[in-house]
Copies of this chain bind each other. A is one copy, B any other.
Amino acid sequence: MIFSKKCGYKALIFVAVYHSFQLHLPKINKMSLLSVGTVAYDKIETPFGQTDKIVGGAATYISLSASFFVDQSKIVSVIGDDFSTDFLAKMENKGINLEGLQIKEGEKSFFWSGKYHFDMNSRDTLVTDLNVLADFDPVLPESYQGSDFLMLGNLSPEVQMKVIDQLTERPKLVVLDTMNFWMDIALDMLHKVLEKVDVLTINDEEARQLSGEYSLVSAARKILSMGPKFLIIKKGEHGALLFNDDRMFFAPALPLEEVKDPTGAGDTFAGGFIGYLAKTGDISFDNFKRAIIVGSAMASFTCEEFGTERLMTLTNDEINDRINKFVELVNFKF
């Protein structure tokens, strides 16, 4: 079963024997996870169709994706009284603790509407109604203290900092997601938050903007000097790159027969990534690599249907099959 090939003076043994690989998915309470981000309504148009108002939001995707790996998941967010109570019940059924979700009477939930171009890699924002998000002041319930892992989904750096400041004990791992918008209007505060996190996830254009470097290798070096020890550059359909010190890891995105709607794919990735880390309780570079593969697998599901639809029907067997597809996709041996 094992191939050994000697070439020249040095030897490589590179072996991959897998009939089928299975993550042990029934949840293990290794680490508790706290996620911060939007819970919102989206209206999406892609070349493959369009939706009415459907549930979206960073914290929604993060917590749903992570729910396949952890059962101690809490969220901090804000909605209006227009938000679907049915959907909230579904989230609670998946073990997501909503104690830190503020519901503002007489106000409306954050609403975003966008239209994707034919290439699905770019989109135009049609509507952004901040609504409850305009003056969001996150409040951490006492029961949230002591969370092991913190996922700061895309929100203003000020809100992200307020959450960090309320924690009496620093989590074992803090992951930050942000976007070009905050680099444009709140760069100073973003830099302050960056000093307090372990992992930053941004896309390639944002990495270039934040660093002022075109080469992603050079960009990563600069960004890793701003605070985070790990940088994950998300390249959408082109995969994801992980940087840590001088180490680099690349995970592809799974080429899909059909991408219906990429909305939430980045947050689903983040949820799978930190969910897997929390489940295993291991924050070594090698486990980061596995977590990125898991996150990529989760993100590929979200793209297959509009909104959170696919995450709602997803099974553990499907996740295992998908991770095996990733192993097959990149596996080679010399």
- A interface vs B, CB < 8 Å? 1-2, 7-25, 118-119, 214-218, 235, 238-239, 241, 247-252, 255-259, 286, 289-290, 293, 320, 323, 327-334
Contacts and interface: CB of A to CB of B under 8 A. Distances in A.
16 contacts: A7-B23, A7-B24, A8-B25, A12-B18, A12-B327, A13-B17, A15-B15, A15-B16, A216-B255, A218-B258, A235-B238, A248-B328, A249-B330, A250-B252, A250-B329, A286-B332
Residue of A15, A290, A332 most packed against chain B (CB within 10 A): A332
A332 B290 contact: yes
Given A15-B16, A18-B14, A252-B252, A23 B118 contact: no
Given A8-B25, A250-B330, 10 more contacts: A7-B23, A12-B21, A12-B22, A13-B17, A118-B214, A119-B214, A215-B258, A218-B258, A251-B330, A293-B332
Given A16-B15, A216-B255, A323-B334, A329 B21 contact: no
Nearest to A25: B8
Contacts of A329: 248-250
Given A15-B13, A215-B259, A217-B256, A334 B290 contact: yes
B18 A332 contact: no
Contacts of A214: 118-119
Contact of A215 (B8, B20, B256): B256
Contacts of A235: 238
A15 B11 CA distance: 14
A277 to B, nearest CB: 14
Contacts of A247: 328
Nearest to A320: B8
Given A10-B20, A238-B235, A334 B327 contact: yes
A256 to B, nearest CB: 6
The 9 A-B pairs of least Cβ separation, nearest first, read: A12-B21, A8-B22, A289-B332, A238-B238, A250-B252, A15-B15, A7-B24, A13-B17, A10-B22
Contacts of A8: 22-25, 320
Given A23-B334, A256-B217, A334-B21, A14 B11 contact: no
Contacts of A119: 214
A138 B14 CA distance: 44
B13 A255 contact: no
Contacts of A290: 332-334
A200 B286 CA distance: 36
A11 B217 CA distance: 36
A12 B327 CA distance: 11
A255 B241 contact: yes
Nearest to A220: B255
A280 to B, nearest CB: 11
Contacts of A328: 247-248
